[in-house]
A and B are shown apart, each in its own frame.
Chain A
């Protein structure tokens, strides 16, 4: 899922303070799962903003909405009847959702209330870790199901480096060495010989390095 964390209150307040009527929009997908921008977080942020502005002696009108998916134009269309009553939109979705609203309602200022952080997985309750950088050319099949691009601090394709100590990375003793994990996993699979294969320098064109990416499915595109 795409993970996010709420922006500091001061930053959100600075964005919305010039406006009297705010449309606060959450998303029921990834940000809801990682408790950053779902219905519950929308309600909490709305209350926090109301309280802040009340203390300042300012009345602010906040309408709360949580869409099924903010990154889909069909769902964003549901906002059309509420836009006239809003001076600005505060979105609690990932950057994809914020941009979908901004593209549809060009005349309204749209502000992000969360920082989109990474594509990750849930480790345990309340803990998410980065697992994928969307490089566009997955190597998990040869690295034992552990991604060196997302999980090795140096993105090494032929690790480990000299900074791996007792399975941990030199950047932080709490960070696992991805290449130790890869070694352990390949060993468990009886594929440890694979570590001797040199992975060629990566072709980054499929990643962000080749410019903004797009998927066009001819069989589905309208």
Chain B
């Protein structure tokens, strides 16, 4: 139903196929890397408990299919997101150029209440490849783009080595938390026949 658990922070990872979305998620949550991930079909998510200023949150990280053809599914999966992570591969120019499409598509499909201030975080992944020699997108260029889009936080990561992944997700969690509105506004739940199924929706915490 329309209600969402208060302590849940929903994060969506977007980016071109093969930039490492699944790997980043698995590295952060399970501290594992595999060369044998399969292309994500549909969507999946992992959760991780995070502590922030003495409070515990559940970070729910959504991993989606990277091919643009599946974007129409976004409506179902992006809804209620608190932060969107845009990932590109520093060795593939096209994946960087597509960040703008991903950002715009997300804003259209998730239609957050305040699109101007919706938190994004950009990750340039695979900086380990070939010792950095095959990289085609410079840090400067990426940061310039992030600055132009309202100072989006930017991290360079290696999901394979686990480099900077924790820091990136710390920032992601922090930004997701910022997005939590003071008062949650939901459509009245007129058909709550579940009776008591709402306990998880804590009412005691105000951000």
Q: Are both chains from one complex?
A: no
Using CB atoms and an 8 Å cutoff, list the residues of chain B in contact with chain A.
Answer: none
Using CB atoms and an 8 Å cutoff, list the residues of chain A in contact with chain B.
Answer: none
